[in-house]
Each structure stands twice: as C-alpha cells, then as structure tokens.
Amino acid sequence: MAISPPSDIILDVAKAVEPAGLQAARTALANRTANAAPAGTFSLTEADVTGGVGRQPDSTSADASMKKFEAMVLQTFIGNMMPKNTESVYGKGMAGDMWKSMMAEHLANQTAEAGGIGIARTVMRDHYIKDEKAVPVSGVSGGPEKAALDEQMSQATALIQELQRKMVKSLGSDEAASVTDTKS
C-alpha cells in the first residue's frame, strides 16, 4: 500500500476549512502583520534574549569548583565500576538506570567532600585563579624566571654536545693520522 501525500498540505487544509473560518484566519494574520514593526528595524538586545539575566562569572570559590569537578569525574568512575546485573537492587529499565546513576552521584559527592582522591588537585596544581588571573603555583609552570633558566640549560646542553662532537671528530682524525704514519 503506497502513500501519496498531497502536493500542498497547507492548501488542502485551507480548502477543507469553512469559508468563514478561512476569512477569520486571513483577517487575524493581516492584523498581526500590520501591527508588526517594519522589516528594517528588527533587533534583539542581550536583555531581550536572556530575559534580563546577565552573564556573570561563577562566583563560587575555587575550592568548591574543584570539588564539583572531582565529583563529576568520580561519578563517571563509580558508575562504570558498579555491577551491571543489579535489577534486583535498583529495578529494571530506565528507572533502574536512574537509581543507579543517583547512587553513583551521591557516592561521588561524598567522596569529593571527604577530600577526594586527588583528581582536581592533580589537574589544577599548575595554576590557581586569583583576581580572575591564572597564577602559577608550582615549579611545573614557574613563570618567566623558570623559562629563562630552561633556556640557559638548553644552551649549556647544546654547547656540551657540540664540544663532545668536536672531541670525537678530533679523536677520529688522530687515529686516521696514526694509521697513515705507521704505513709509511
């Protein structure tokens, strides 16, 4: 059985409506377009789009944000570690999955509140935010002084390697000279 939809569904619906209803719809549409602003003056401001709610940075402390981050990562870990055949405990289907997810979320939140396992500390140890600026914390990203020291170390290493190459080259040429001297 094949379906052959009409070519213009809206036109077919309009034809099926009583003439009085069709005329009322046309009048209402004409009134709406007449009351609308001219086409060239349409604009939206941020307040129109967001309903007056401004986009402000999250004012929670860095510690609270790190705990939330750790809890989110732990929830994924705990959810994957939970047993798969738990229909007798959590139930079947989507409801069971929801209960299982809530259990993983609760365990993760409690673990993060108790200090976590160091995920956030490991990820965020290089920088912390102070007055909306990233401030280096450890020697991993020690700032410009560390960069200058690294550059000096790199140059010193390159100089030592160049001296080693010259020494090996001179030793090789001395051996070649001694071999030719013994043959003569």
Contacts of residue 55, Cβ cutoff 8 Å, sequence gap at least 6: 46
C-alpha distances in Å from residue 15, one per residue of 3, 7, 40, 112: 21, 13, 34, 64
pTM: 0.40
Residue in this structure with the two tokens 């190459």, named with its chain if needed: 165
Q: How many other CB atoms are there within 10 angstroms of residue 58's CB atom?
A: 8
| Chain Cα centroid distance, residue 138 | 24
Per-residue pLDDT of the chain (184 residues; tens, 9 = 90+): 565 665 666 667 767 777 788 788 888 888 877 766 555 555 656 666 666 665 555 556 667 888 898 999 999 999 898 888 888 887 888 888 888 889 999 999 999 999 888 888 777 766 666 666 766 665 555 566 777 788 888 888 999 999 999 988 888 776 655 555 555 4
> 3-class secondary structure for the chain?
CCCCCCCCHHHHHHHHCCHHHHHHHHHHHHHHHHHCCCHHHCCCCHHHHHCCCCCCCCCCCHHHHHHHHHHHHHHHHHHHHCCCCCHHHHCCHHHHHHHHHHHHHHHHHHHHHCCCCCHHHHHHCCEEEECCEEEECCHHHCCHHHHHHHHHHHHHHHHHHHHHHHHHHHHHHHHHHHHHHHHC
Structure tokens at 143: 């700032």
Looking at residue 33, what is its pLDDT? Answer: 72
Name the residue type at position 138.
S
Looking at residue 48, what is its pLDDT? Answer: 65
Structure tokens at 176: 């070649």
Exposed e or buried b per residue across 156-172, where buried means at least 16 C-beta atoms within 10 angstroms of its C-beta: eeeeeeeeeeeeeeeee
Distance separating alpha carbons of residues 171 and 176, to the nearest angstrom: 9
Distance separating alpha carbons of residues 176 and 172, to the nearest angstrom: 6
